[in-house]
Amino acid sequence: MDIHQKIDTLGRAAALDCEGPPLVGRQQRKAQMIAECITYVTHPQKGKMPVLRIMQTSACERNCYYCPFQTGRNYQRVSLTPEELAAAFDQMQRKKLVDGLFLSSGVIGGGAKVMDKMLATVELVRRKYEYLGYVHLKIMPGAESAQIEQAARLADRLSINLEGANESRLALLAPKKDFWHELLPPLYWLRQNQNRLEPWVKRPSLSTQFVVGPAGEADRELLTTVSTLYQEAKLVRAYYSAFNPAKGTTFEDRPKTPEIRQHRLYQADWLLRFYGFNLNELPFDASGNLPPGNDPKLVWAQQHLHQPVEINRASRAELLRVPGIGPKSADAIIAARREGRLNEAQQLNQLGVWTVRAAPYILLNGRQPGHQLRLPGV
């Protein structure tokens, strides 16, 4: 394999291994690098930007039952040296094909050994090629504390994938991984070791990922763990990957997890992160799952918002409980109220409110919008 074939193969492999949005489709590019290894992430300052998402190696010894890289499966095993990968990234970055690196890996020879290669790659990117932009680095199970510390100095984001909702669920997915000793401690490392990093080092953000479905966990189990990590470890984001069986793996005969379940988990996750909900307010059913038929915020409103919310007096927290109002539109409402009272549904539309959804739960000057103005599309 030449370097371009390796980049192509490990970029496509990363799409199976890593969290985040889908890869962009194959496009015509003047450069010889392969577009299938490029994805987009949203940066707080730069907005959407193209990132090289790739694995250091697709060889793995951990034998996770759901994983396409499971030991013994007929899958092409490819590796890149730190020098090869850093040089390839530098070429793509200089040609403006990418503006960021998302590096993960299979585990072969132990987590610490492969972590050394990943860190060496990023060291070359930072030191030799003087790249100062976005780097997302996945921490391998079994990584040592000194490696986590080095990763924190090099990367803008670190991800430590729990995969299972808790210890018992992880054992059903990946019996060679240790929830309490390998996976959970790195998520708490940054919070507990702030003073080990120099004052000028920007603290990386933290994310994790779960495989949803094949271990039989309930939504409450997943969101209980996530809620705890948001509060205790300052996790910034969790990813939920609906299980899709791969032939030749232990779980090849298990059913695919419906995409709607993944979608509902993300909606509930946003309620925890951005809308001020706590775990016990989420509308779980008797089995601990979110109702698949409706947005969990709408379900909560149907159960609890028995009195409409007066838009002209409601606090930001009260506005965020109304279906059709998000953080941006809530802030826009509060800003608009400083200029005068809001009287018409059209004003709310202009502020970004999904008025058709909000109408049953709000008042404008004491009147429901449906009695004041016929809403578009109704």
Find the DSSP H helices in 64-110.
82-94
231 and 319 in a single domain? The answer is no
Tokens read off for 25: 């489709």
Residue 264 exposure: Cα atoms within 13 Å on the Cβ side: 23
Residue 76's pLDDT is what?
Answer: 85
CA distances from 327 to 230, 260, 323, 350 (A): 18, 23, 11, 15
317 and 168 in a single domain? The answer is no
210 and 319 in a single domain? The answer is no
Rounded CA separation 335/189 (Å): 39
For position 237, which CATH number holds? Answer: 3.20.20.70
| Residue 250 three-state SS | coil
- Identify the bridge partners of residue 138 per DSSP, sorted by sequence position: 159
Nearest to 276 by CA among 224, 319, 240, 329: 319
Would 317 be classed as within a structural domain?
A: yes
Q: Final residue of a domain: which of 226, 257, 288?
A: 257
Would 276 be classed as within a structural domain?
A: no
83 and 160 in a single domain? The answer is yes
Q: What's the N-to-C CA distance of the chain in angstroms?
A: 59
Rounded CA separation 28/125 (Å): 26
178 and 80 in a single domain? The answer is yes
Q: How many CB atoms lie within 10 A of CB 170?
A: 25
Rounded CA separation 28/51 (Å): 17
164 CA to centre of own chain: 15
What DSSP string runs through 308-358?
-EETTT--HHHHTTSTT--HHHHHHHHHHHTTS----HHHHHHTT--HHHH
Residue 33's pLDDT is what?
Answer: 38
Find the DSSP H helices in the chain.
3-17, 82-94, 111-123, 145-154, 167-173, 184-192, 219-232, 259-274, 296-304, 316-319, 327-337, 345-350, 355-358, 369-372
Residue 194's pLDDT is what?
Answer: 85
- What residues make up the domain containing 136? 3-257
Residue 249's pLDDT is what?
Answer: 95
Sorted by sequence, the CB contacts under 8 Å of residue 75 that are 6+ apart come out as 58, 68, 69, 248
DSSP state of 124: I
225 and 358 in a single domain? The answer is no
Rounded CA separation 269/262 (Å): 10
Q: How confident is the model over 76-123, as pLDDT tens digits? A: 899 999 999 999 999 999 999 999 999 999 999 999 999 999 999 999
| Residue 262 three-state SS | helix
Residue 18's pLDDT is what?
Answer: 56
Would 289 be classed as within a structural domain?
A: no
225 and 148 in a single domain? The answer is yes
Q: Final residue of a domain: which of 218, 238, 257?
A: 257
Phi-psi region of 47 (alpha: psi -120 to 50; beta: other; left: phi over 0): left
56 and 166 in a single domain? The answer is yes
DSSP state of 364: B
**pLDDT tens track, the chain, 378 positions:** 899 899 999 998 898 775 544 433 333 333 333 456 898 888 877 889 999 999 999 999 999 999 999 988 888 899 999 999 999 999 999 999 999 999 999 999 999 999 999 999 999 999 999 999 999 999 999 999 999 999 999 999 999 999 999 999 999 999 999 999 999 999 999 999 988 999 999 999 999 999 999 999 999 999 999 999 999 999 999 999 999 999 999 999 999 999 999 999 999 999 999 999 999 999 999 999 999 999 999 999 999 999 999 999 999 999 999 999 999 999 999 999 999 999 999 999 999 999 999 999 999 999 998 744 444 433
Rounded CA separation 176/252 (Å): 19
Would 162 be classed as within a structural domain?
A: yes
CA distances from 73 to 67, 76, 248 (A): 10, 9, 6
| Residue 210 three-state SS | strand
Would 280 be classed as within a structural domain?
A: no
Would 105 be classed as within a structural domain?
A: yes
243 and 331 in a single domain? The answer is no
Tokens read off for 152: 């924190």
CA distances from 136 to 29, 99, 101, 154, 245 (A): 25, 12, 6, 9, 27
Q: How confident is the model over 208-255, as pLDDT tens digits? A: 999 999 999 999 999 999 999 999 999 999 999 999 999 999 999 999
User: In total, how many domains does the chain have?
Assistant: 2
